[in-house]
Amino acid sequence: TSATQARDVVIGYSGRTIAEMPFAWGSRKGFFKEANLDVKMIYMSTSIAAKGLMSGDVDYSTAMGGTLRAAIAGAPLIGIYSMFKAQMYLVAQPRFKQVADLKGKTVGISVFGGAYDLVARTILKHHGLDPEKQVTLLQIGDSRTLYSALTAGSIDSAILGPPYDIKAELEGNNRLFDSSEIFDMPFSGLATSKKKLQQDRAEVKAIVRGLERIRRYIAANRAEAEAFVKQFLNLNDKEARLSVAQMVKSFRDTGRTTDEAVVDFIDTTLRSTKQKAGTIKPSDIVDWSVTTEVVRELDKEKK
């Protein structure tokens, strides 16, 4: 009840991009208040978030890719909700017209072993380039830092997430490839500890419900979403409009990926970290049961 004090919930996020916007806006608009939760969004690196989830200092992390990689390596963490299809794009300086042109060139990523690294390697291989030998991957930082490095000309290309892919393209750089064309991996969403999911399912469900409600609200109220995005990411009207349109297009209606996509993610991760293909199953690193319940209930309420 509202008479009792609201419970503090800490969500770690690792970059100020369009993917974090629903969490921030949902919190601002009070979408978690009905469950008496006071959501605090705290900026931290993916690895610190993973450690925080294990110690209990952090309740949830939006860095799903990095958290699931930790789970594959044996950490007791689990992905529970996936809001978007991967929104990661290979964007290059204007002189590069196709991915093959990047032979002998540099590609900026955030951190080795992170989601952008995985995406870069997969895109390069898909276009016949060996990421180990034919291209130099450079660890630069988050999407905003990558965008700055690309526009300053200090790297030839970069993996960018919205709105930075849009900003870079509007400035004349070339979008060479959309990663969602070749995989549907569980990147943007919510992860927590297995312990939290087992012991505090009601809270987990309330958080997922708040997120799924804000996702639906954004899809139905684009103009209002654009106004928030403009201020949240410091964009102009055109950048905000394109960012929200791209976000809505990449929304998942089910809040989950397929098992095939998770298997793919496990295989790619094991290969890129040189771990042996073990016996890791999708159910070891993701549990969509709460999300499936929430989506079903919200669909019913809508009718």
- Angle formed at CA 113 by CA 116 and CA 178, multiple of 5 degrees: 20
When pLDDT is averaged across residues 221-237 and rounded to a whole number, the result is 95
Segment 100-140, tens digit of pLDDT: 999 999 999 998 877 888 899 999 999 999 999 999 999 99
CATH class of the region 7-85+186-302? alpha beta
Residues of the chain with CATH 3.40.190.10: 7-85+186-302, 89-181
Q: Rounded distance, CA 20 to CA 62, Å?
A: 7
Higher-pLDDT residue of 299 and 264 is 299
Helix, strand, coil percentages (3-state) for the chain, rounded to 5, are 50, 20, 30
- Report how far residue 177's alpha carbon sits from residue 118's, in angstroms, rounded to the nearest whole number: 14
Largest CA distance in the chain: 63
Answer yes or no: is pLDDT of 1 > 50: no
Q: What is the DSSP string of 261-299?
A: HHHHHHHHHHHHTT-------HHHHB--HHHHHHHHHHH
β-strands 7-13, 106-109 pairing = unpaired
User: The tokens of 274 are what?
Assistant: 């040189």
The reported pTM is 0.85
Instruction: Tell me what the mean pLDDT of segment 148-159 comes to.
Output: 97
Say how far apart CA 251 and CA 78 lie, in whole Å.
21
Is residue 288 pLDDT above 90, yes or no?
yes
Give the residue with greater pLDDT, 79 vs 162: 79
Answer whether CATH 3.40.190.10 is correct for domain 89-181. Answer: yes
CA angle 139, 156, 67 (to 5 degrees): 30
Q: What is the CA radius of gyration of the chain?
A: 19
Distances (CA, A) of 95 to 99, 157, 158, 172, 290: 11, 10, 14, 10, 47
